[in-house]
Amino acid sequence: MNKADTVSNWLAALPVKERARRLSKISHNLTIYAREFQLLPTSAEGKTEVIKKLLGLSELHHKLSAQVVHYCAGEEKTIYPEEVLSNILYEIAIQYGIVPLLNGAIQNAMTGSWIVSENGPENQSI
């Protein structure tokens, strides 16, 4: 089972209200990781990499917050299915080089722990 499948199965097992809460927690956790970028590297290449990662975090926030809004508005028919959302989140994270940040944010939302295995979120029951 890959990381996106683990996240999809976890989300699908949650009631809609709890799903919205956990997605909000993931988004919140990503803001904590964004603080790591306040010390910009001095090289142009390093700055470009930081900007790329911040854009990726912004894309993740966009997808997560849109899904939460749909859940809260009762628009369950217009949301992404859990497996589609999970795949989209990991595609964005891969594109922008921020998979470890997404893994950590999800792991904390799943378990309350900031300890993340190299392989990403574990299949946890909450």
Maximum C-alpha span of the chain: 47
Residue corresponding to tokens 């790329």: 52
In tens, the pLDDT along 1-10 reads 789 999 999 9
Per-residue pLDDT at 121 exceeds 90:
no
End-to-end, the C-alpha distance of the chain in Å comes to: 18
Report the chain's C-alpha Rg in angstroms: 15
Percent pLDDT > 90 in the chain is: 65
In tens, the pLDDT along 19-43 reads 999 999 999 999 998 888 777 777 8
What is this structure's pTM?
A: 0.86
pLDDT confidence tier of residue 104, bands split at 50, 70 and 90: very high
In tens, the pLDDT along 40-87 reads 777 888 889 999 999 999 999 999 999 999 999 988 778 899 999 999
Number of helical (H) and strand (E) elements in the chain, helices listed first: 5, 0
HSE, CB side, 13 Å, CA atoms: give it for residue 39.
1
Rounded average pLDDT over 109-123:
65
